[in-house]
């Protein structure tokens, strides 16, 4: 039984404007769902069905021009709908501070430091609250400013869009107002090249046939022109007064995100007669974001506005993205938090065990007051526990998060400054919209890319045609000269004979007639074109860019399509004579048939059927023609990545044509199974054809797109293409960009196949096919380049994906998703065609949350790609021809697809290497820092006495050790840039968060524990034997702590120097400068350089320590012992178990040594001296 909540769409959508007004915009729909759910359960039995819903689950009634229906027609129930505002921002002025603080304190580290700061404020602790409070305040403030600025930019973009002027009809006059004030029911006028301000029902245009042309590049990525049709009874309204007199209501479905689906009807009222009811479909709907082309103006009525438009419903809400490194940091933080609690707990217990004897609990020199003796034991123990927590809390330094934020922010400029990623043609360079995900660029496992405008230039070019085995190429170059257009005949074959000439002209006529191209005349040219030269001023537009390329290509070969007028198609032949053909029928193209046909009548009275389509669709229907020669040419062009079509024809007798007309008419008027009956009629008509030839069109790939995909696959990254384009078009592009190779076995999971077999059978058959080889593909085989295993590619369309995403009919929780994912895992590449924008996001989400949890990246250039860009871990926008919606909503933006190679394989690699070392190093040096403090409590009666001076405690992470690791994390290059570009497989060494795994984390932690033991006990045993200086003075506890601290600062700094591969003067300056700064500061703080500090407890301590010879020897010896295990481990691992990166480093070192030697030998043999 269906849930009652499903019958409440009217309530939900009437409440939507109030929800936006009363609640936070991002919580509006969630609040509504709660309200509707409550109403459904509590008051559903007594609440009547919404008026006008009839049998539809979701519907709305719109009064055109806000006019009430005539009396007696139907009840007038005004409805509230949201206004036309678009909201993409995250914060408002009122909720910024609480919402941003809530998001920031969701981070475990920030929340932890807040608790520590509050504890320091409440109780008496060994350290000052300032040591935790100031760094936390700095981090929170800087992050809030950055996020506030980013959201301010989104507010600015929203305001620019919401304040655009819109023309609408009011009382028969044209009125102008802001887009945000538009309401459902308003009649809007849109002019040529303007963008539709909301979703409109097309009422009329200036064209007599009631059509208009639009481009939907920002919605589905297709820049070709699409034809839409006005309502039959309103297409004659050409003036504002005519439209204002319209009396009609529209009933349609509630907003839903499918761009290609719309169901509704319009009731047009007249004074005398009953209302005329006309069906409305997607061909009558003009979507927000689309642009009007080749039409002077149109009138339309607003039906969906603001956040209810299909474009807005296809946008995902922008959520905070967190990188895998940040998640690892949070996990490590929890581990160290557990260690911290354990340390504090152990010390607290041991303290009270130690003080169980009276003379230890209250010694003679530190007697307690009466109030202290009467305090509750558990309260005292809890206070001591908190004090120990504060004492040891430096094991999790807030300075690490400050350093990470600075590293990300400063490191992001390396992308912006990269001259290799600057495009001279467009004058654009890379943009960084967020710096939080830099290291995620080095962890990508799946790339989801748009096709049109991302992989391709969206620029079709006619390459050649093959007629009866002869190849025709426009602008043939012969002996360095370009032959005339009409002479573009391949010189391999001799000139065709008489019958060949007839077939040649039939082929050219077929391409001039078999299409849906519209002609936009040049305003300066009056009348039909009289010559090919003048014909070139025609501008051809079509829903398919292939058709435009074919018509323009045939024009260069001598036949020019002029126009369609009064149902007659006019073409200009080679003799400059105009030929007229009556257009009788169009058998439209569809992705199942993969072909289209036209039936025309020539001036001589002969009737022809011209058909063009995919070779697999045409060849089985051909009974005559040079099939073998043409098939060979088609296969050769397909291998070269060209898009091929075959052309055929047949002559029809009048009786045969009349039978075809009756068959088509019966199918067209059918109310049930109309598409199925039309398909059967087409199948009967399109048979017994004569093959004429084939064409080849090139969809030009972007420069180096194929090389980029090949490099990404070698890096172990799986590439998926998600496009709204047709399957044939997309598949040809995939072959051209080497996503599919000649050896790839392409599997189809499409609507056509599911109609032939059940979805269950198709999935299990594909699963058996891909798993036939032993086991699944490993990561090393992801690229599909292995010669040992069959390379599979998968093609799936939007309808098939919808069926896969639906739960099974038996209601069981299991579905086909896991089986589909298993098939995809074993395919080297996947092509998803006919995808709506929200389906693209669903695909990304499906892979993102699969059991492996891979890191995903989405790249696109249009507004239709925004959803998947926001859904993926990393979103990249291409700054292309389809606007800047994708670039504005992405994390990074690049001028061309080819720049993705360097962004991932070089920048991403470096970012990950650098920040992973930064994180591990910070935890390591703080284990070295705090573990001696823990050991010291065993020697001071667990009195919470600090081992180090307060200045050393505060400055250790802020000054003494922070700058070297920051510079390392900005400048380190473990291998050269050229090496990373030349050998993409090095990217695999860092895959799956390799440098932040538990094994590596454990090694760094135990290395820190070992070094801490060496520092503390080395100094302890040295002090045990050398308790006085040469002057007879005794060493105290501050000298002991200073010695441990000195060894520690030198060890952790030299450890970083050993890890550095890329040395510059800046590294030398920072590393040695930090050590020098520590020495100078210690002399200053000890009153040596600045005598005014002589009153404090560290007076002359540092100098006393250095005045002892054993102290010098101890420092050198302890540093050497501490560094030795790490050096031995590096040497052994490089010799016995080297990684690919380490082998590359060794090879480059050998080359760098050999090249100077060879150079000197060659110079010496030449008798040159230096």
Q: 3-state SS string over 574-640? A: CCCCEEEEEEEEEEEEECCCCEEEEEEECCCCCEEEEEEECHHHHHHHEEECCHHHHHHHHHHHHHC
Phi/psi region, residue 811 (left: phi>0; alpha: psi -120 to 50; beta: rest), is: left
Q: Is the pLDDT of residue 1033 over 60?
A: no
What values do phi and psi take at 392, rounded to 5?
-95, 0
Using DSSP, state whether 20 is helix, strand or coil: helix
Q: What is the Cα–Cα distance from 972 to 921, expressed in whole angstroms?
A: 14
Please name the residue that has the structure tokens 């397909």: 638
Q: Are 419 and 895 in contact (CB under 8 A)?
A: no
Name the least confident of 471-475, 503-507, 527-531, 652-656: 527-531
3-state secondary structure of 445: coil
| pLDDT band per the 50, 70, 90 thresholds, residue 1168 | very low
Q: What is the pLDDT of residues 47-101, one digit of tens each?
A: 333 323 333 336 788 888 888 777 665 666 667 888 888 887 888 888 899 998 9
* Alpha helices in 974-997, H assignment, sequence order: 977-982
Q: Report which DSSP code applies to 907.
A: I
Encoding tokens for residue 168? 């609408």
CA-to-CA distance for 983 and 1006, rounded, in angstroms?
34
Tens digits of residue pLDDT in 616-638: 788 888 888 888 888 888 888 87
- Is the distance from CB of 470 to CB of 240 less than 8 angstroms? no
- Give the alpha-carbon dihedral of 481, 484, 485, 491, to 10 degrees: -70
Catalytic residue, from 186, 436, 450, 891: name it.
450
CA distances from 1047 to 155, 955, 1018, 1036, 1126 (A): 53, 16, 10, 17, 16
Average pLDDT over residues 1020-1031: 62
Q: Which residues is 280 bridged to in the sheet?
A: 264
Task: Give me the residue label for tokens 């058909």.
Answer: 611
What average pLDDT score do residues 208-212 get?
79
Cα 657–chain centre separation: 52
Give the separation between CA 430 and CA 894, rounded to whole angstroms: 4
Would you say 1074 and 960 are in contact if contact means Cβ atoms under 8 Å apart? yes
Strands 829-833 and 477-478: unpaired
Question: How many whole angstroms separate alpha carbon 994 and alpha carbon 1093?
Answer: 49
What is the CA 328 to chain-centroid distance, rounded? Answer: 22
Instruction: Name which of 78, 59, 82 is nearest 68 in CA terms.
Output: 78
pLDDT at 383: 83
109-154 pLDDT per residue, tens: 788 888 888 888 887 776 677 767 777 787 788 778 878 887 888 8
CA distance 843 to 834: 13
Asked if 521 is an active-site residue, the reply is no
Residue 779 sits at φ, ψ, to 5 deg, of -60, -35
SS3 assignment, position 112: helix
> What burial class does residue 719 get, using C-beta atoms within 10 Å of its C-beta: 0-12 exposed, 13-18 middle, 19+ buried?
buried
pLDDT > 90 in the chain, percent: 12
Please give the average per-residue pLDDT across 461-473, as a whole number: 86
Phi/psi of residue 452, each to 5°? -70, 120
| Of 91-95, 171-175, 1035-1039, 1150-1154, minimum mean pLDDT range | 1150-1154
The dihedral region occupied by 317, where left means phi > 0, alpha psi between -120 and 50, and beta the remainder, is beta
Check pLDDT > 50 for residue 1159. Answer: no
The neighbouring-strand residues paired with 204 are 299
Which residues are paired to 647 by β-bridges? Answer: 612, 693
Residue 59 CB-half CA count within 13 A: 18
- Kindly report which listed range (5-19, 296-310, 462-476) carries the lowest average pLDDT score: 5-19
For helices 9-22 and 28-42, give the axis angle rounded to 10 degrees: 140
Q: Which two tokens stand for residue 92?
A: 């408002």
Q: Would the pTM of this model clear 0.75, i.e. be above it?
A: no
Q: Residue 699's pLDDT band (boundaries 50, 70, 90)?
A: confident
Q: What is the pLDDT at residue 940?
A: 78
User: Does 485 or 155 have the greater pLDDT score?
Assistant: 155
pLDDT above 80 for 320: no
Lowest model confidence (mean pLDDT) among 64-73, 773-782, 872-881: 773-782
Distance CA 65, CA 245 (A): 9
Choose the most confident range, by mean pLDDT, from 128-132, 642-646, 1104-1108.
642-646
Name the average pLDDT for the chain: 77
Which candidate, 90, 305, 79, 300, places its Cα nearest to that of 179? 305
Q: Which residues contact 43 (CB under 8 A, 6 or more apart)?
A: none
Structure tokens at 1083: 């002399």
More confident residue, 1103 or 297: 297
The pairing of strands 431-432 and 892-894 is antiparallel
Least confident residue range of 18-32, 642-656, 904-918, 1139-1153: 18-32
Q: What is the largest CA-CA distance in the chain?
A: 128
């Amino acid at each position: 039984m269906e849930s009652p909540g499903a019958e409440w769409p009217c309530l939900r959508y009437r409440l939507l404007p109030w929800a936006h007004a009363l609640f936070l915009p991002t919580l509006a729909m969630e609040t509504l769902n709660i309200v509707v759910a409550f109403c459904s359960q509590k008051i559903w039995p007594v609440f009547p069905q919404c008026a006008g819903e009839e049998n539809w689950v979701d519907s709305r009634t719109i009064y055109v021009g806000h006019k009430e229906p005539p009396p007696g027609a139907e009840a007038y129930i005004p409805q509230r709908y949201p206004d036309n505002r678009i909201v993409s921002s995250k914060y408002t002025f009122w909720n910024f501070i609480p919402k941003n603080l809530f998001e920031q304190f969701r981070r475990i580290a920030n929340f932890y430091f807040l608790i520590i700061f509050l504890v320091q404020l409440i109780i008496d602790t060994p350290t000052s609250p300032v040591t935790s409070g100031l760094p936390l305040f700095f981090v929170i403030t800087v992050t809030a400013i950055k996020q506030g600025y980013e959201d301010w930019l989104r507010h600015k973009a929203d305001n620019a869009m919401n304040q655009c002027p819109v023309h609408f009809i009011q009382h028969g006059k044209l009125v102008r107002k802001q887009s945000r004030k538009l309401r459902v029911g308003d009649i809007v006028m849109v002019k040529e090249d303007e963008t539709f301000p909301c979703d409109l029902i097309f009422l009329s245009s200036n064209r007599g046939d009631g059509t208009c042309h639009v481009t939907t590049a920002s919605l589905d990525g297709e820049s070709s022109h699409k034809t839409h049709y006005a309502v039959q009874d309103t297409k004659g309204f050409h003036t504002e007064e005519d439209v204002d007199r319209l009396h009609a209501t529209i009933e349609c479905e509630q907003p839903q995100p499918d761009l290609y689906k719309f169901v509704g009807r319009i009731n047009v009222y007249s004074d005398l007669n009953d209302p005329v009811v006309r069906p409305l479909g997607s061909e009558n709907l003009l979507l927000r974001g689309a642009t009007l082309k080749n039409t002077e103006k149109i009138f339309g009525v607003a039906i969906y506005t603001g956040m209810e438009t299909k474009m807005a419903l296809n946008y995902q809400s922008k959520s905070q993205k967190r990188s895998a490194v940040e998640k690892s940091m949070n996990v490590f933080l929890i581990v160290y938090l557990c260690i911290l609690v354990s340390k504090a707990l152990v010390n607290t217990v041991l303290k009270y065990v130690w003080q169980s004897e009276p003379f230890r609990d209250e010694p003679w020199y530190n007697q307690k007051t009466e109030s202290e003796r009467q305090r509750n034991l558990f309260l005292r123990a809890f206070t001591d526990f908190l004090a120990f927590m504060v004492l040891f809390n430096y094991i999790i330094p807030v300075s690490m998060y400050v350093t990470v934020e600075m590293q990300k922010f400063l490191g992001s400029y390396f992308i912006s400054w990269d001259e290799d990623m600057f495009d001279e043609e467009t004058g654009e360079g890379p943009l960084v919209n967020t710096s939080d995900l830099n290291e995620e660029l080095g962890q990508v496992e799946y790339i989801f890319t748009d096709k049109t405008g991302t992989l391709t230039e969206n620029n079709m070019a006619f390459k050649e045609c093959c007629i009866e085995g002869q190849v025709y190429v426009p602008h043939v170059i012969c002996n360095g000269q370009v032959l005339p257009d009409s002479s573009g005949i391949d010189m391999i074959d001799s000139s065709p004979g008489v019958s060949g000439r007839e077939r040649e002209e039939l082929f050219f006529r077929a391409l001039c007639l078999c299409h849906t191209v519209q002609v936009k005349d040049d305003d300066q040219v009056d009348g039909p074109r009289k010559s090919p030269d003048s014909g070139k001023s025609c501008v051809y537009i079509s829903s398919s860019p292939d058709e435009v390329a074919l018509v323009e290509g045939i024009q260069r070969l001598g036949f020019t399509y002029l126009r369609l007028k009064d149902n007659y198609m006019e073409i200009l032949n080679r003799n400059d004579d105009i030929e007229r053909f009556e257009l009788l029928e169009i058998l439209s193209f569809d992705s199942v048939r993969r072909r289209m046909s036209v039936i025309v009548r020539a001036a001589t009275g002969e009737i022809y059927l011209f058909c063009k389509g995919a070779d697999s669709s045409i060849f089985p229907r051909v009974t005559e023609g040079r099939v073998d020669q043409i098939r060979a040419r088609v296969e050769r062009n397909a291998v070269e990545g060209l898009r091929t079509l075959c052309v055929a024809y047949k002559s029809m007798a009048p009786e045969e044509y009349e039978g075809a007309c009756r068959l088509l008419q019966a199918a067209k008027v059918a109310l049930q199974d109309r598409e199925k009956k039309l398909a059967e009629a087409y199948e009967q008509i399109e048979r017994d054809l004569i093959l004429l030839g084939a064409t080849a069109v090139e969809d030009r790939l972007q420069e180096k797109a194929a090389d980029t995909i090949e490099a990404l696959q070698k890096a172990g990254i799986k590439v998926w293409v998600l496009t709204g384009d047709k399957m044939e078009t997309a598949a040809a592009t995939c072959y051209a960009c080497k996503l599919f190779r000649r050896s790839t076995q392409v599997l189809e999971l499409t609507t056509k196949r599911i109609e032939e077999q059940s979805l269950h059978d198709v999935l299990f058959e594909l699963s058996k096919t891909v798993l036939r080889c032993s086991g699944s593909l490993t990561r090393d085989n992801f690229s599909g380049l292995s010669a040992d295993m069959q390379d599979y590619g998968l093609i799936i369309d939007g309808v098939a994906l919808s069926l896969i995403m639906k739960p099974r009919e038996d209601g069981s929780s299991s579905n086909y998703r896991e089986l589909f994912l298993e098939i995809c895992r074993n395919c080297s590449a996947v092509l998803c065609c006919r995808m709506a924008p929200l389906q693209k996001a669903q695909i990304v989400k499906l892979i993102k949350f699969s059991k492996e949890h891979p890191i995903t990246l989405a790249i696109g250039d249009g507004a239709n790609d925004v959803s998947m860009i926001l859904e993926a871990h990393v979103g990249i926008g291409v700054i292309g021809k389809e606007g800047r919606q994708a670039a504005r909503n992405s994390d990074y933006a690049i001028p061309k697809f080819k720049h993705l190679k360097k962004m991932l394989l070089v920048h991403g690699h470096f970012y990950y290497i650098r920040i992973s070392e930064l994180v591990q190093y910070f935890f390591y040096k703080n284990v070295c820092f705090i573990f001696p403090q823990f050991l010291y409590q065993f020697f001071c009666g667990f009195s919470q006495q600090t081992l180090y001076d307060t200045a050393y405690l505060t400055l250790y992470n802020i000054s003494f050790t922070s700058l070297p690791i920051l510079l390392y994390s900005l400048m380190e290059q473990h291998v050269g840039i050229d090496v990373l570009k030349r050998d993409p497989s090095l990217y695999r060494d860092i895959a799956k968060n390799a440098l932040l795994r538990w094994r590596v984390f454990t090694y760094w932690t135990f290395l820190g524990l070992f070094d801490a033991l060496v520092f503390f006990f080395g100094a302890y045993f040295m002090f045990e034997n050398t308790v006085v200086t040469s002057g007879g003075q005794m060493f105290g506890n501050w000298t002991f702590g200073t010695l441990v601290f000195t060894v520690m600062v030198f060890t952790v700094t030299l450890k970083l120097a050993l890890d550095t591969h890329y040395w510059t003067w800046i590294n030398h300056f920072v590393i040695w400068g930090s050590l020098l700064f520590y020495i100078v500061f210690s002399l200053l703080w000890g009153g040596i350089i600045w005598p005014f500090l002589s009153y404090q407890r560290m007076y002359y301590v540092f100098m006393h320590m250095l005045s002892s010879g054993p102290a010098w020897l101890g420092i050198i010896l302890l540093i050497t012992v501490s560094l030795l295990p790490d050096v031995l481990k590096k040497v052994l691992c490089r010799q016995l178990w080297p990684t690919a990166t380490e082998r590359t480093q060794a090879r480059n070192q050998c080359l760098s040594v050999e090249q100077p030697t060879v150079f000197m030998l060659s110079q010496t043999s030449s008798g040159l001296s230096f």
